[in-house]
Amino acid sequence: MKILDEKEIKTLKALLTERSKKYGRKKLRAAIYARKSAEDIRDTSLPMQIANCRDLIERYDFLEEYKVFQEDGVSGMFTDIRPQYLEMMELAEKREIDVIVVMKLDRLSRDVADASTAIKLISAYRCHLIAGDDVAETNTPSGEFMRNILLAQNQYYSRRVASDVIDAECKNARKGLTAGGIPPYGLKIIDKHFELNEKEAPAIKIMFERCAKGCSYKEIIDELDSLGFHTRAGNRFSYSSLNALLRNDKYYGTFVYNRIGGKKKKHRVLNEFFDEVRNECAIPPIITKKLFDKVQAKLDSRKGICRPRQNTSNFVLTGLLFCKDCGSPMSGATNTGGRNKEKYRRYICPKHIGRNGATCKTKPIRADYLENAVKSILTESINAYLTSADSTALFEGLEKSVQQKIGILSRRISDLENQINSFLDKAANTSSSKLAERYEKQTEEYICSQEQKKADIAQLKSELQQIQNLKNDFRSHNRALTENEIFTSKEVTRELFHIFIRRIEIDDQNDDISVFFND
């Protein structure tokens, strides 16, 4: 560890004076941060780092050890996945620690951008950073230049190690050696080579053969259960685990490493990209390539396992309607009455007299009457705008709003797909029955959410087409549009109401409807 120079000691004593006046501290609180990555083979153990930092703190009478933050087996390239680091920075922001001590600057971060950000944040929090290998006078141009060189060296070292590891794993894959991890069901690993698991392999063959014949997942799982085939955790196969096995191309004898278009880790140290390695002789096949392809075609043709939830709400003013008397949002309700027991819809104030002791005087209002009244008001406003301004801007605004929603949903579907694949892999490879059940449950929930979002996109595309038809109709006729031409469906009606209208107030006492439009 370095020895503090006179300028740094002077800076620290000035900080002590400031904290003494504000918080009554007699010494500066020093936090120790130690980190060791899994691949670090150098002599930088956590106890050694902590001991060196303590020696520095004990060397100066104006410093005292406050707390030790240590993390083992975590990469120095990413700060957002280190809870101890994040906790330390949070305490620094709250001014609960005054000094952060690390054995070397690369313990803080090996990424140039993250390290620079961390240093700036520490400075902004009025906290002082002491690193054992840091240069002196970092506030000067030459000192800042030397520190940036040191940060760049740290990043280069980390990326070079990652590059060497990937290169070695690609070479192993070409030789037919595994890249580590748990082998899939039906296979085992002996001396880094894939071998058939004689007890599990027959189950894999049954899965593919039954699926190719058109059997349902339930039928396949029931047959496997009757034959005594279960997961490695001893449970029945679930739909999600069966799907993951049927998608695994290792079963026809092909080992693919660094797959093109495959999942990439969110926190990826390496920027360099290596070619895909495909070895068709590395794994003893359980099934044929022809059978595998036939099963993939079957799976691709099947519909999603979840029935998409449709937006069945009949109350298109929900979220816009408010009671003027008490200010409460009004909600829709369906009641049955009359001789024929017909259903009728109403909007109701939740604080209406008689409802849980409330005293609001606003009575329930028929939904058809209110919605038609709002349609009439909005139709008049739309036509007034179209005849007095550039109608292109209006239609483009509507189209843009719907397209943005489609884009957001599409990105979310892509994220869900990555999470589903991750859960399926974990469920297939874990030896814990509880973890497998949890992963399978999460997979099914995510698939349902994904199917719902696909249905929402289909609905939005339909709305977009209706808006475009409306635009073309107006341009061709250049006349006022009718309510039926504007409000072509319940979904379009709801969308238009929420685009144009900010708030609707019902004044039951004066029999008045006030519509407030968006700017």
Return the domain boundaries, the chain: 6-157, 187-301, 321-330+364-517
The pLDDT score that the predictor gives to residue 355 is 53
The pLDDT score that the predictor gives to residue 139 is 63
| Cα 71 from Cα 44, distance rounded (Å) | 12
Question: What is the mean predicted confidence (pLDDT) over 166-179?
Answer: 81
Question: What is the mean predicted confidence (pLDDT) over 406-422?
Answer: 81
Confidence of residue 312 (pLDDT cuts 50, 70, 90): very low
Q: Is the pLDDT score of 322 beyond 80? A: yes
The pLDDT score that the predictor gives to residue 311 is 47
Confidence of residue 30 (pLDDT cuts 50, 70, 90): very high
Q: State phi, psi for 18 to the nearest 5 degrees.
A: -65, -45
Long-range pairs of 299-308 with CB within 8 A, sequence gap ≥ 24: 299/211, 299/243, 299/246, 299/247, 304/447, 304/450, 304/451, 304/454, 305/239, 305/444, 305/447, 305/451, 306/444, 306/447, 306/448, 306/451, 306/452, 307/451, 308/451, 308/452, 308/454, 308/455
Which 3 state secondary structure label does DSSP give 178?
coil
* Domain 187-301: homologous superfamily in CATH: Putative Large Serine Recombinase; Chain B, Domain 2 (3.90.1750.20)
Q: Percent of the chain scored above 70 by pLDDT?
A: 84
Total Cβ atoms within 10 A of residue 192: 12
For the domain made up of 321-330+364-517, the CATH class stated in words is: mainly alpha
Give the pLDDT confidence of 245-257 residue by residue, as tens digits. Answer: 999 888 998 888 7
∠162-164-170 over CA atoms, to 5°? 105
- Residue 282's nearest CA partner among 170, 378, 361 is 170
pTM: 0.44
The pLDDT score that the predictor gives to residue 307 is 42
Q: Is the pLDDT score of 100 beyond 90? A: yes
Q: Is the pLDDT score of 50 beyond 90? A: yes
Q: Is the pLDDT score of 65 beyond 90? A: yes
User: In the predicted model, what is the mean pLDDT of the chain?
Assistant: 81
Confidence of residue 386 (pLDDT cuts 50, 70, 90): low
Question: What is the mean predicted confidence (pLDDT) over 181-185?
Answer: 85
| Cα 436 from Cα 427, distance rounded (Å) | 5
Question: What is the mean predicted confidence (pLDDT) over 423-438?
Answer: 71
Extract the tokens encoding 369: 């009457």
Q: Is the pLDDT score of 268 beyond 60? A: no
Determine if residue 227 is left, alpha or beta; phi over 0 gives left, psi from -120 to 50 gives alpha, anything else beta: alpha
Locus of tokens 């305490």: 91
* Domain 6-157: homologous superfamily in CATH: Resolvase, N-terminal catalytic domain (3.40.50.1390)
| Residue predicted with more confidence, 236 or 180 | 236
| Residue predicted with more confidence, 336 or 324 | 324
- Least confident window among 4-13, 138-147, 167-176, 464-473: 138-147
Q: Is the pLDDT score of 390 beyond 70? A: no
Q: Is the pLDDT score of 308 beyond 50? A: no
Question: What is the mean predicted confidence (pLDDT) over 122-133?
Answer: 88
